Amino acid sequence: MSGISLPLPLARAILHPVFRYSMNVRLPWRVQRAALDAEAVLQMSPKGTRVDRLPLGGRATERVTVGRAGSPFALLYLHGGGYTVCSPRTHRPLAAHLAEALDAPVYVPDYRLAPEHPYPAALDDAEAAYLELLSTGLTPEGLAVAGDSAGGGLSLALAQRLRDRHGIRPAALGLIAPWSNPNEVPPRERDLVINRAWSQASAAAYLGDADPLDSGYAPLLGEMSGLPPTYVQVDDGEMLRAQCGRLVAALREADVPTQFSVTRGLWHVAQLQAEMVTPAAAELRALGDFLGEALRTAQTGSIR
């Protein structure tokens, strides 16, 4: 999967200034977004990646495929970025790697961002995208949901909303370092990617005037029972490590089939650098394998 393999210390040295200066509370949100979109060119996609743009759930969306992509399955991917920055462009390489692993299209909607569009705008957009994909002939058993960081929390909140409002269960959830409770104050000043001031500013921007105890905003506070098989990935050195551990404990207590992977020496959503960092590529491959197996199992079960 990986095109080149940088030593981890070198990769960290390259990425540190990128995140330190782009995700900075002193910069307006629009400047942060422009900087991260521009820096996305440094992240490579697999050979044969194709990107088609289409509307989905009322939002511009990228449909990412690699090669033939003849699978009857699909993946809805919700990008991270604290609900305030990033886009399908910044996460295109990650989506492409998953499309390659699944041999299936990955849909990445450009959901509305805060502070211009606070909660529940992003969740409403995710729900609309999932339901429109079902209207194209896909079934819940053939449609999984995944996301990273804020997009991981959004994926969890979407699964809870689909269960509660529509009686629908996606085939699987793939959560990369999910930010499942923005109310929690980060335990230290920063890790390689995220800093406390930026995290708290993003949380406040997304909350707006909503109730911070609303499980749509903080899905870690919500009910876990009845959710689909879930895979959670996090690195031991990032600020969300403890929160992810609590999420996994809550999922397992609710009898949700859950896998948990904790890497060491990577960083927050290192899967974005899968083309350059071999251990990150291995994690992304494991996530793709999990989602593919869950989709095949759910589809087989629905046929019987």
Q: Determine the angle formed by the axes of helices 8-22 and 29-39, rounding to 10 degrees.
A: 150
71 is catalytic: no
Taking Cα atoms as reference points, which of 182, 171, 201, 31 lies closest to residue 102?
Answer: 171
79's CB contacts (< 8 A; 6+ apart) are 86, 87, 88, 90, 91, 108, 147, 148, 151
Strand pairing partners for 86? none
268 is catalytic: yes
What DSSP element (H or E) covers 186? none
| Catalytic hit among 79, 91, 97, 268 | 268
| Catalytic hit among 127, 238, 275, 283 | 238
172's CB contacts (< 8 A; 6+ apart) are 144, 145, 228, 229, 230, 231, 290, 291, 294, 295, 298
269's CB contacts (< 8 A; 6+ apart) are 80, 94, 148, 149, 176, 177, 193
Distance CA 83, CA 151 (A): 8
| Catalytic hit among 2, 45, 87, 149 | 149
Residue 10, amino acid: L
Find tokens 């058993």 and name the residue.
Answer: 141
155 is catalytic: no
Find tokens 């495929």 and name the residue.
Answer: 65
DSSP-derived letter for residue 133 is H
End-to-end Cα, the chain, rounded Å = 34
3-state class of 211 per DSSP? Answer: coil
Strand pairing partners for 108? 62
Residues marked active site are found at 149, 238, 268
